[in-house]
Amino acid sequence: MTMKLAIDAMGGDNAPEAIVKGAVEAADTIKGLEITLVGDEAQIKPHLKNQTNVSILHTTETITADDEPVHAVRRKKQSSLVLTANEVKEGRADGCISAGNTGALMSAGLFVVGRMQGVDRPALSPTLPTSDGKGFLMLDVGANVDAKPDHLLQYAVIGSIYAENVRNIEKPRVGLLNVGTEDGKGSELTKKAFELMQTAPINFVGNVEARDLLEGVADVVVTDGFTGNVALKTIEGTAMTMFSMIKQTFMSNFKTKIAAGLAKNDLRKLKDQLDYSEYGGAGLFGLSAPVIKAHGSSNERAVLNAIRQACQMIELDVTNTISSTLNEMNKEEEES
């Protein structure tokens, strides 16, 4: 099976070097993969090997982190990010990846790639680490700050299908992020979403609390984009602060510095365990083709993992599985 991916070579803090090197490794190791790198040829070429399955679509225009997302996508039609999405729209690529401006990629996904049939609102969904190393999927973390109960139901179904097919979890546990675990807790949104999820074709385990997320209380955690983004940033900030405090403690005197030297490898393992780029990028789920948002600070390994993630979605036809399941649910709803 031939899989074609378009990759924004100019997006992210370490672009283009890390993006191109990750793509080169993927082209070497993933069978049947063809990659189009979109960006400045003069900056991309030095990092390439002479591979026949990697090509360049040249452009010098870019979208920066400071650009207003929707305006940038509409005005900068020759930017690497927009041209990357356009490769999917025109059928020259099966999916696309960018480590660039998150809002711009979401806009390009919506306006250029387009929504899949049956989906009201796409969701941005990273896989986050857990103490047992298995990780959990959280959606939405910022694609839509305002959500309706029906949107959360769709996120639950989309997340469940992704977890089962791509992450190989049998009957993934789907939890609804809430202020307590008891039934009937929370806002009008969560109460209504809870009712809808109880009858959905998923393994719904009820309400889950934020403090239990990293303990692996559920394989898929569903919430609105506002709450999800706050939860994600809190997890990130807490992890960064904890590592900073541990570092300060170990560097405080001669004895602790010796202890730091002895524990160095174990601390590195802990840091790797908390690094969610190991799971690939955040999927923009609900679009008509796989669109992956790699972390802005992605190194070549994180880019490789995001490419593997996109390839799995293409190979296992996850987009069509999601679409047909949602359409089936809509039909049943209309009949009842």
**Same domain? 292 vs 188:** no
Flag whether 298 is in a domain.
yes
**Same domain? 217 vs 244:** yes
Flag whether 258 is in a domain.
yes
**Same domain? 126 vs 275:** yes
The pLDDT tens digits of the residues spanning 118-154 come to 888 899 999 998 988 889 999 999 888 889 999 999 9
pLDDT in the model for residue 336: 67
Flag whether 88 is in a domain.
yes
**Same domain? 300 vs 254:** no
**Same domain? 167 vs 272:** yes
Flag whether 214 is in a domain.
yes
Per-residue pLDDT at 86 exceeds 90: yes
Confidence of residue 35 (pLDDT cuts 50, 70, 90): very high
**Same domain? 124 vs 109:** no
pLDDT in the model for residue 276: 64
Please give the tally of structural domains in the chain: 2
pTM of the model: 0.89
Q: What is the mean predicted confidence (pLDDT) over 164-181?
A: 94
Per-residue pLDDT at 300 exceeds 80: yes
**Same domain? 67 vs 112:** yes
Domain end call among 231, 252, 280: 280
The pLDDT tens digits of the residues spanning 225-253 come to 999 999 998 988 888 888 889 889 999 99
Flag whether 241 is in a domain.
yes
**Same domain? 160 vs 237:** yes
**Same domain? 173 vs 160:** yes
**Same domain? 180 vs 312:** no
Comparing 172-181, 183-192, 265-274, which segment has the lowest mean pLDDT?
265-274
Comparing 35-44, 113-122, 303-312, which segment has the lowest mean pLDDT?
113-122
Flag whether 326 is in a domain.
no
Flag whether 336 is in a domain.
no
**Same domain? 173 vs 261:** yes
Note down the domain range covering 214. 120-280
Flag whether 334 is in a domain.
no
The pLDDT tens digits of the residues spanning 197-221 come to 999 999 999 999 999 999 999 999 9
**Same domain? 56 vs 129:** no
Domain end call among 232, 253, 280: 280
Q: What is the 3-state secondary structure (H, E, C) of the chain?
A: CCEEEEEECCCCCCCCHHHHHHHHHHHHHCCCEEEEEEECHHHHHHHCCCCCCEEEEECCECCCCCCCHHHHHHHCCCEHHHHHHHHHHCCCCCEEEECCCHHHHHHHHHHHHCECCCCCCCEEECEECCCCCCCEEEECCCCCCCCCHHHHHHHHHHHHHHHHHCCCCCCCEEEEECCCCCCCCCCHHHHHHHHHHHCCCCEEEEEECHHHHHHCCCCEEECCHHHHHHHHHHHHHHHHHHHHHHHHHHCCCHHHHHHHHHHHHHHHHHHHHCCHHHHCCEEEECECCCEEECCCCCCHHHHHHHHHHHHHHHHCCHHHHHHHHHHHHHHHHHHC
CATH code, domain carrying 8 = 3.40.718.10
